[in-house]
Amino acid sequence: MTEPHPTNTGLFEAARRVIPGGVNSPVRAFGSVGGTPYFVESASGPYVTDAEGQQYIDFVQSYGAIILGHAHPAVTEAVVSAAADGTSYGAPTAREVALAERIACAAPGVSQVRLTSSGTEATMTAVRLARGFTGRPRIVKFAGCYHGHADSLLAAGGSGVATLGLSGSAGVPPSAVADTVVAPYNVVPELDDRIAAVVVEPVAANMGLVPPVPGFLEGLRQACDEVGALLIFDEVITGFRLGLGGAAERYGVTADISCFGKVIGGGLPIGALGARTEIMETLAPTGPVYQAGTLSGNPLATAAGLAALDQLTPEAYAQLEARAGQFADGMRGVLAGAGFDANVCQVGTLVGLYCGAGPASGWVPADYDDARTTDEQAYARLHAGLLSGGVAFAPGAYEAIFVSLAHTPEVIDQALALMADAADAAAAAAGL
């Protein structure tokens, strides 16, 4: 039943009765920051508006799926027009070919692409494909890297030395992660010929923002080549976000398999994996590695993705990087001015916030152990102040901050002014 004037609390109470925790993805819950999620009614450009009519300058941007800003007319028109022609067929379409060509053209090392409905499916398939292609069982992942919620990739496990992974979730039996080795980020692990693949976020954007140290990605490439393992770049965030060629292009390291999602769907459900033909044709129907999807390559998702990619010129990325820089620099100034201990990190168009002074100003975490020393309570105080001032940050201290092309310099200045107030209040509250 719809109430005439729903409130966030009213909606959340109703949501909690029928949806576990009231949310369809745990990252949307406010457990770690306190308070009630705002229920979005509509969004436009840099703004989201909640059920109570409160508008926020939005730096969540669907966790990076939105890059042009919300409800960009080109994307909206593409979706509306596609929907009029039917929403799913169970037969191939020209737009799937066009999107695959776009990805293959832009992404280093990719000559064929398989579209899925989520990033999780893309990474899950990439692992199965690597195992099928190499005939080897093991995968190496890095602590603090998120690759979606497939069993074998949920292992977060030990830090320090690479250890055999422990299940990162109840319901994942030890057997499901017995062949997952978890290693610390930014250290090239020792590999052997049991390893099918090393899977990595080339810029880690799910433990705050942790850039690869010089030599890390190059070292992974070399270590994989030495033992015949495949290198999998999970570019679900970085792909078409850092630039047309993603992190691979930015760092000049080419993976064997690349995974995409988020930006390439223009805000609709999508994922993709790509590699050279020899690897990709190991997938069914040309090869023995099975993978499928009723809604894969969905007509609306491909329409939205193509419309979004149409806007992403080199000039657009330069502009986005400048906006990210304006926000990152501004945040440094505003937070320092308020006496709020924090370090801000920028990698191209991506921005990350670490609450706490760190060993030095300008310090950035190098791995999960570092990242987890962030002051979650300080983040919660800042988050609450921002939200009440009209700025939406993710309700968790480990998410990247997403600036879109709709965040004009004026909007960013406005967000920074609101942040100054929030940081003053947060710093004062901490001193009490």
Ligand X SMILES: *Cc1c(COP(=O)(O)O)cnc(C)c1O
Catalytic residues: 146, 234, 262
Indicate the residue type of 419. Answer: M
The answer to the question of residue 256 lying near ligand X (CB under 6 A) is no
CB of 132 or CB of 144, closer to ligand X: 144
CA 177/CA 151 separation, integer angstroms: 7
d(CA 24, CA 420): 32
Count of CB atoms situated within 10 Å of the CB of 126: 33
236 binds ligand X, rule: CB under 6 A: yes
Min. distance of Cβ 193 from ligand X in angstroms? 27
Cα separation, 38 vs 125, whole angstroms:
34
- Contact between 61 and ligand X by CB under 6 A: the answer reads no
Q: Which is nearer to ligand X, 134 or 258 (CB)?
A: 258
**3-state secondary structure at position 408:** coil
Q: Which residues pair with 232 in a beta bridge?
A: 199, 257
**Which 368-407 positions form the footprint of ligand X (CB under 6 A)?**
none
Which residues, in sequence order, are CB contacts of 382 under 8 Å at separation 6+? 340, 355, 393, 419, 422, 423, 426
- Asked if 114 interacts with ligand X (CB under 6 A), we say no
Residue 253 contacts ligand X per CB under 6 A = no
Cα 179 to Cα 343: distance, rounded to the nearest angstrom: 36
From the list 79, 103, 237, 309, which residue makes contact with ligand X (rule: CB under 6 A)? Answer: 237
Member of 123, 186, 258, 349 binding ligand X (CB under 6 A) = 123
- Select the span of 117-125, 133-141, 351-359, 369-377 touching ligand X (CB under 6 A): 117-125
The distance in angstroms from the start CA to the end CA of the chain is: 44
Whose tokens are 């105080």? That residue is 381
Nearest Cα to Cα of residue 269 among 299, 240, 248: 299
Is residue 234 within the footprint of ligand X (CB under 6 A)? yes
Question: Which parts of 202-231 interact with ligand X (CB under 6 A)?
Answer: 206
Integer Cα distance of 122 and 233 in angstroms: 11
Determine the interface stretch with ligand X among 1-9, 42-50, 146-154, 321-329 (rule: CB under 6 A): 146-154
Q: Which stretch binds ligand X (CB under 6 A): 36-44, 88-96, 141-149, 332-340?
A: 141-149
Cα gap 354→358, rounded to integer Å: 8
Distance between CA atoms of 17 and 124, rounded to whole angstroms? 31
Only one of the segments 101-109, 143-151, 361-369, 421-429 lies at the binding site for ligand X (rule: CB under 6 A); that segment is 143-151
147 vs 381 by CB, closer to ligand X: 147
Residues making up the chain, counted from first to last: 432
Candidate residues 144, 245, 271, 299; the one interacting with ligand X per rule CB under 6 A: 271
Contact between 147 and ligand X by CB under 6 A: the answer reads: yes
Give the count of residues interacting with ligand X (CB under 6 A).
Answer: 14
Q: How far apart are the C-alpha atoms of 285 and 75, rounded to whole Å?
A: 32
Give the position of tokens 């925790």: 21
The window from 234-242, 291-299, 303-311, 369-377 that contacts ligand X (CB under 6 A) reads 234-242
Nearer residue to ligand X within complex by CB, 26 or 337:
26
Provide the minimum distance between the beta carbon of 335 and ligand X in the complex, in angstroms, as a whole number.
25
Give the residue, chosen from 157, 202, 261, 297, that forms a contact with ligand X under the rule CB under 6 A.
261
Q: Kindly state the tokens that stand for 37.
A: 């999620």
By the criterion CB under 6 A, which residues form the site for ligand X?
118-120, 123, 146-148, 201, 206, 234, 236-237, 261, 271
